[in-house]
């Protein structure tokens, strides 16, 4: 009985000695963030560099180094952290990097994070330390499906639709809608000259509803069935006919013919009186046609909106959102169509009306050129001389060669001056671009001095395009573009991906996958303006790079792959980190080279 207290005392002393021995061999380290981000974007990585203040003369050992994490008062808000990386290591100090990906479905909030250091120095002494601080997690500037859902949940659908209507209203004030004005007047004005403002309002609303319905259908298809439909709307197959149509319509503004609604619509749909229910049907159909014509122009904004909504997979939300956007975009047309009767009270002829018509014609030509711009349809060496030639034609139509009468007004003289300016500018533009791009051949060089600035500029341009020219004597020159492993729909894509992803994970390399199609304008723009840039190419060499051609109709395998990688439309670039985790928050459509490079550098 007397031995029990003695045994207990000996046990306590032994534990105390062990604790003292451990404490004697474990040194406390002051750990603090070198720079704490004010906001961490959902779907990307939380990256923190920590300063470690070690005992005097101690050097951090890389073996066995770990930073354990806790989230006091809540669940972990990040995925499995990446291995700790030592940035610098000096006697008495070190800098280490801790990083972990944030899920793309995370909710904005302020989280508490506790970091505990478990390490040793090069002599084997244990090192411990901890830090606790707040981490503010929020969405980035770009809109995503989760950001849309969170916005609707927090602010309500009414405000979301009002914003979409406002964006559409802003687009109605852009040059995208102006070419629709003469078409609207031709379709609605012929049926509203004698029926007043109310009739014009009903007809114009019907017209704009037809236009908005086109966008709503495109939105629904993008979110449910057909991926990449907006990219198809910007393909040459669509844009070339629309550009030609706009040029034909411009001839009417220049006086070549009288623009009016098609005869079959006026006779069959409009009816003899031009005002029955069948007239509304005709106007509605013409509104849908107008929506198709305007869609490529608003493609950059509309494409971004479609990609955001398509990722939600909510067909009803996409339908109503795009319909609201289309109605906002049609506000200007509603105003034009509501008051066509007022045009009848204005002078039927006069210089102001002729100038207005020519201005609308120039707008139509400018829109056609926008559709045919370099990177979309016509190559730059042919596009810019074409623009110069059109400027010459514009100068002629503005009256560069018209004789001025003694009683000519100030506007007549201003118009002639503008015509001369356009004519001279067009000639300079045509000749300069033709010489720069070698459009006129090489014979012109013989008539210029060897030290001519024009000749030097041309030679510099041509040398810049000569990929055989050696600028830097590097032992291993970069390839001309990102070295892709290519595969097409129907060629056992899943097995190909499994093999490539397995090899990449084993080698500890990240993966970059580019989904593209031959009809996708921005897919081609990636090839021409991003994947051939030296910094992007150099960065891509640390990736396994895969290019999937999804031009053909999707089969079941490709549909499943797109669902797995969340590919609502094309182009789509998917990133997978070195651990094989799909980084959905990093996926992107078209980005300029500098932005794409920044995304690539952030992939681990």
β-pairing, 485-488 with 544-549?
Answer: parallel
| Separation CA 493–CA 560 (nearest Å) | 11
Angle at 208 between CA 301 and CA 165, to 5 degrees: 45
Phi, psi of 346, rounded to the nearest 5 degrees: -85, 160
Model confidence at 268: pLDDT above 60:
no
Could you tell me the pLDDT band of residue 499, with boundaries at 50, 70 and 90? very high
SS (H, E, C) 532-601: CCHHHHHHHCCCEEEEEECCCCCCHHHHHHHHHHCCCCCCEEEEECCCCCECHHHCECCCCHHHHHHHHH
% the chain with pLDDT above 70: 69
Residues 335 and 209: beta-carbon distance below 8 Å: no
* Span of 89-103, 182-196, 233-247, 462-476 with lowest mean pLDDT: 462-476
If you average pLDDT over every residue of the chain, what do you get?
A: 76
Name the residue ranges covered by the structural domains of the chain: 26-138, 145-346+359-373, 379-469, 485-601
Dihedral over alpha carbons 87, 88, 92, 97 (to 10 degrees): -10
**Per-residue pLDDT tens for 195-237?**
667 777 888 888 899 889 988 888 787 766 655 555 566 566 7
**Per-residue pLDDT tens for 412-435?**
788 788 888 888 988 988 888 777
SS (H, E, C) 131-144: EEEEEEEECCCCCC
Could you tell me the pLDDT band of residue 265, with boundaries at 50, 70 and 90? very low
| Separation CA 227–CA 221 (nearest Å) | 7
Residue scoring higher pLDDT (598 or 364): 598
Residue scoring higher pLDDT (329 or 545): 545
Topology agreement, domain 26-138 and domain 485-601: no
**Per-residue pLDDT tens for 4-14?**
455 555 555 45
Output the CATH code of domain 485-601: 3.40.30.10
- Residue 94, pLDDT score: 94
SS (H, E, C) 308-362: HHHCCCCHHHHHHHHHHHHHHHCHHHHHHHHCHHHHCCCCCCCHHHHHHHHHHHH
User: Among candidates 292, 296, 430, which has minimal Cα distance to 370?
Assistant: 296
Which class for 225: exposed (0-12), middle (13-18), buried (19 or more C-beta within 10 A)?
exposed
Tell me: cis bond preceding 571? Omega within 30 of 0 counts.
yes
Task: Measure Cα distances from 143 to 173, 200, 385 in Å.
Answer: 23, 38, 39
DSSP string of 381-428, one letter each residue: HHHHHHHHHHHHHHHHHTTTTPPPPTT--HHHHHHHHHHHHHHHHHHH
- Residue 191, pLDDT score: 56
406-415 long-range contacts, CB within 8 A, separation 24+: 409/351, 411/351, 411/355, 412/351, 415/355
- Residue 347, pLDDT score: 43
Sequence-distant (≥ 6) Cβ neighbours of residue 38 within 8 angstroms = 136
CATH label, 26-138, candidates 2.60.40.10, 3.30.460.20, 2.40.240.10, 2.60.120.260: 2.60.40.10
């Amino acid at each position: 009985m007397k031995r029990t207290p003695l045994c207990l005392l000996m046990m306590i002393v032994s534990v105390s000695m062990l604790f003292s021995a451990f404490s004697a061999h474990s040194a406390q380290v002051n750990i603090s963030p070198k720079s704490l981000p004010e906001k961490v974007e959902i779907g990307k990585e939380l990256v923190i560099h920590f300063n470690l203040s070690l005992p005097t003369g101690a050097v951090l050992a890389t073996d066995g180094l770990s930073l354990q994490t806790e989230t006091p008062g809540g669940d972990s808000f990040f995925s499995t952290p990446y291995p700790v990386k030592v940035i610098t290591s000096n006697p008495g100090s070190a800098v280490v990097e801790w990083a972990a990906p944030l899920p793309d479905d995370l909710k904005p909030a302020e989280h508490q994070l506790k970091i505990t250091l478990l390490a040793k120095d090069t002599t084997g002494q244990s090192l411990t330390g901890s830090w606790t601080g707040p981490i503010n997690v929020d969405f980035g500037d770009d809109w995503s499906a989760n950001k849309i859902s969170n916005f609707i949940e927090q602010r309500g659908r009414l405000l979301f639709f009002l914003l979409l209507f406002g964006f559409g209203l802003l687009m109605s004030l852009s040059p995208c809608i102006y070419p629709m004005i003469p078409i609207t007047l031709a379709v609605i004005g012929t049926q509203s000259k004698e029926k007043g403002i109310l009739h014009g309002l009903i007809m114009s609303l019907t017209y704009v509803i037809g236009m908005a319905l086109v966008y709503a259908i495109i939105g629904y298809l993008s979110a449910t069935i057909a991926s990449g439909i907006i990219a198809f709307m910007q393909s040459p197959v669509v844009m070339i006919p629309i550009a030609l149509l706009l040029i034909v319509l411009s001839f009417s503004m220049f006086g070549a013919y009288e623009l009016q609604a098609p005869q079959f619509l006026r006779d069959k749909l409009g009816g003899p009186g031009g005002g029955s229910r069948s007239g509304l049907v005709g106007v509605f159909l013409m509104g849908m046609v107008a929506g198709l014509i305007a869609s490529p122009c608003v493609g950059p904004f509309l494409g971004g909106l479609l990609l955001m909504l398509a990722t939600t997979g909510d067909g009803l939300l996409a339908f109503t959102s795009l319909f609201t956007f289309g109605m906002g975009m049609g506000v200007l047309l509603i105003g034009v169509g509501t008051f066509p009767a007022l045009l009848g009270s204005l002078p039927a002829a006069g210089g102001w009306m002729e100038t207005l018509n020519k201005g609308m014609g120039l707008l139509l030509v400018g829109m056609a050129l926008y559709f045919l711009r370099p990177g979309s349809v016509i190559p730059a060496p042919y596009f810019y001389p074409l623009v110069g030639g059109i400027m010459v034609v514009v100068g002629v139509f503005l009256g560069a060669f018209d004789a001025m009468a003694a009683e000519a007004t100030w506007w007549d003289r201003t118009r002639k001056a503008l015509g001369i300016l356009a004519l001279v500018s067009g000639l300079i533009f045509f000749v300069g671009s033709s010489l720069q791009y070698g459009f006129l051949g090489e014979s012109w060089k013989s008539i210029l001095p060897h030290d001519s600035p024009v000749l030097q500029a041309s030679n510099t341009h041509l040398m810049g395009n000569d990929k055989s020219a050696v600028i830097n004597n590097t032992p291993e020159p970069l390839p001309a573009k990102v070295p892709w492993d290519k595969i097409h729909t129907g060629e056992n894509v899943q097995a190909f991906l499994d093999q490539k992803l397995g090899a990449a994970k084993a080698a500890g390399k990240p993966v970059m996958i580019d989904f593209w199609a031959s009809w996708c304008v921005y897919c081609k723009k990636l090839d021409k303006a991003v994947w051939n840039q030296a910094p992007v190419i150099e960065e891509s060499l640390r990736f396994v790079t895969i290019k999937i051609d999804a031009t053909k109709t999707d089969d079941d395998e490709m549909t499943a792959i797109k669902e797995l990688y969340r590919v609502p439309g094309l182009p789509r670039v998917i990133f997978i980190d070195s651990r094989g985790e799909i980084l959905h928050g990093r996926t992107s459509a078209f980005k300029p080279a500098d932005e794409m490079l920044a995304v690539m550098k952030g992939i681990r």
